[in-house]
A and B are shown apart, each in its own frame.
Chain A
């Protein structure tokens, strides 16, 4: 009996402690410096050439879930500076490319970030060429190129317009006047063809937006593997390559690079933040 009471008392104490902790947690968060302050610290460090400190600050902000184009840009720049320093680490150029790509993704009008991502990749190519490594030119497949022409919403609206046209054609074909009936036939044909073409595009773009994320290779190079763990017949992905991320399988994740598909370790990729959604981080090995 006394044992039961003691255990109940311990359970109650634990519940109280948990409640107290939850109540106090926001207050602790509030005491931390805000986004602007930490960003100012990071950019000042970067201007002073202290890229190590800038990386710590900017990664801490990213871990907090802060998403902002300037954070991504300066993070890319910090990694690029480290890549050119004696304290460079493998994957620094990839992380630099990821930062610039993320900045361009968060603010599509940021041409400088997009250009710098290309510069970083050019530097990767040059370094690989000096090591007698030739990288193939991999282009997006036709479906991805088509889907990338417009946003999912644009494809959806176009498909909806085609659906409306189709419906209008159906109505007009019943009109008593010949000219309306002819107009209805034309609208029906155009609407039907457009609907057939645009519906897969709208569905595909919406599905891709919902289920796929962009990521950048942050390892020196990555080889794609199949479900059975065997190497896929595909060229290795050089550092800084922008890939399309699929489903996660433990410590591996499905990815697609042009026409090539396979799995690669999470740790070799950096997922890019999108909109207000922070980028998911790779699972810690062993968990």
Chain B
């Protein structure tokens, strides 16, 4: 198709890579368009409309509750009009009262939003007959939502009914709630227990019904005080219950379930479930009228002693499953294994377990995790016990069987649930002496270990005190080797200096003698002899300064030696030049360019500078 499109566009002359790129672009745009279309479709909210009536047959003067429920998949409409109803003229319309609820879930980055709109109309007929009540409607942006019409039969009022009778649902189970005689007030609360005799730990379900024959508003509900029971709420949304019609002492009442709880008794005796109370407002009731429910007493006993298994703990009632995991199965001696025991089932889960006795084992206090909640009207869930078991004996240790006795109220009998914990391989550990472990265990169990026999003969005498050097001697010993070496170095250096000084003194003496001879010859000597004396004086002074013979050195070497000895470069050059000049004057006086006096003066000056 893309190729045909390109051909239609007369683009076959384009290079192949351009065509591929263009095709990829087209595919991307197409998929983006499809995606956006799908997204737009997804984002378009869908509606599901339902209309329910609280009754199909009512008496004149009774009120009919008509509820329009709109389930919206998608975002809640930004605007909507107030729901309307075109009721038959013989019906008085009260309301509507509307409520909006929405739920937004985010799964794997994809959000899912659902909203529910409820609009409830109260219709009070004034004439008998069979009526088709059209569905309430609601206008949303671009759409009018409506459900199916409802057919209602309105009959003449029967005897005993009140003109201002409250809203009632179909009396489906009104019979069980009916009372041959009872309170005559416009509203009252009634507590009903599913049983009156239980054992400790067995669940009782108590339902609280509100009986009413007037329109009411219930406020300030106070839960009953039940210190002798564990309480679990069974009714998650009390507002979701519907009312039913029943009779109390011949009068029509509405009855609505306002609460239902599961109670687990914690002790024996005749225990009170307390009173639920609330305040009511109403035209014929009054303002803030306090109404209390009846108080129930439950006879709580212990399960029968007959057939009671060993280790049964009062309160462990229900039907449970027991699972245990042991990790690891191989440990070093003195180490621990983790034993996780999970108790699961319906009933009052045990608070603690009797772990089996393990030879050389010590059960540490467990950490307990639980997830207990009512399920289908019954309390249950799971409770995990995380134990650590320290094993002090080596070998293959059998952890035994864990038993959980419980009372099953369904069968009225005791049940013992078991699980085998298996074995653990404990490797002997050298650092922990087995005797110490046995002693600890014996001491823990209250049985002291056997005493050793006394020693009757004196063995080897006591070991002498550990040898130790006095601290001054220790310091001396540590300082001695490096000290001796340092002393040797110092002595060697001193000897060298002394030797050098001695050598230097001889050179100086030689230099002085050479200078003395030079002074004598300056007055009466021959030029050759004077040059020789000057050369000797120069070499003697140089050797005194440098501490080494200089006669065998050529000019370059002499200059280098002088510079290394720290003689100024200018003086060094002068000395080298003078040595050269003196040698020349000594061996070829005719060729020397320097006058005899000048040479003598320069030699004297250089020697003087050198000696400085």
Contacts and interface: CB of A to CB of B under 8 A. Distances in A.
A80 B443 CA distance: 14
B440 A170 contact: no
Interface stretch (B126-134, B327-335, B395-403, B452-460): B452-460
A143 interface: no
A152 interface: yes
Given A118-B436, A206-B471, A36 B454 contact: no
A62 interface: no
A160 B482 CA distance: 11
User: Of B440, B466, B488, which is in contact with the most chain A CB atoms at under 10 Å from its CB?
Assistant: B466
Interface residues of A, number: 63
A106 B453 CA distance: 19
Interface stretch (A13-21, A64-72, A235-243, A249-257): A64-72
A225 interface: no
B468 A210 contact: yes
Interface stretch (B182-190, B473-481, B556-564): B473-481
Nearest to A72: B462
Given A107-B462, A203-B474, A43 B454 contact: yes
Nearest to B449: A119
Contacts of A115: 433, 435-436
A164 B481 contact: yes
A159 B478 contact: yes
B478 A209 contact: no
Contacts of B436: 115, 118-119, 122
Contact of A122 (B440, B455, B459, B470): B440
Contact of B443 (A43, A77, A123, A202): A123
Contact of B454 (A47, A122, A129, A174): A47
Interface in B462-502: 462-471, 474, 477-482, 484-486, 488-489
Contacts of A181: none
B467 A166 contact: no
Contacts of B468: 151-153, 156, 205-206, 209-210
A210 B343 CA distance: 63
Contacts of B456: 40, 43-44, 47
Given A123-B439, A152-B466, A156-B474, A39 B458 contact: yes
A43 B455 contact: yes
B354 interface: no
Interface string A118-160: 1100110111010000000000000000000001110010011
Contacts of A160: 477-478, 481
Contacts of B453: 47
B448 interface: yes
B461 interface: yes
Contacts of A171: 485, 488
Contact of A276 (B446, B458, B462, B485): B462
Contacts of A67: 462
A140 B451 CA distance: 29
A112 B451 CA distance: 12
B591 interface: no
A125 B437 CA distance: 13
15 contacts: A80-B451, A81-B451, A118-B439, A123-B448, A125-B443, A151-B466, A153-B469, A203-B474, A206-B468, A209-B468, A210-B468, A210-B471, A275-B464, A276-B465, A277-B465
Given A69-B459, A171-B488, A199-B478, 13 more contacts: A40-B456, A118-B433, A118-B439, A119-B435, A119-B436, A122-B436, A123-B439, A129-B444, A151-B467, A152-B466, A156-B469, A210-B468, A276-B464
Interface of B: 433, 435-436, 439-440, 443-444, 446, 448-449, 451-471, 474, 477-482, 484-486, 488-489
Top 6 A-B pairs, shortest CB-CB distance? A275-B465, A126-B443, A167-B481, A106-B462, A152-B468, A46-B454
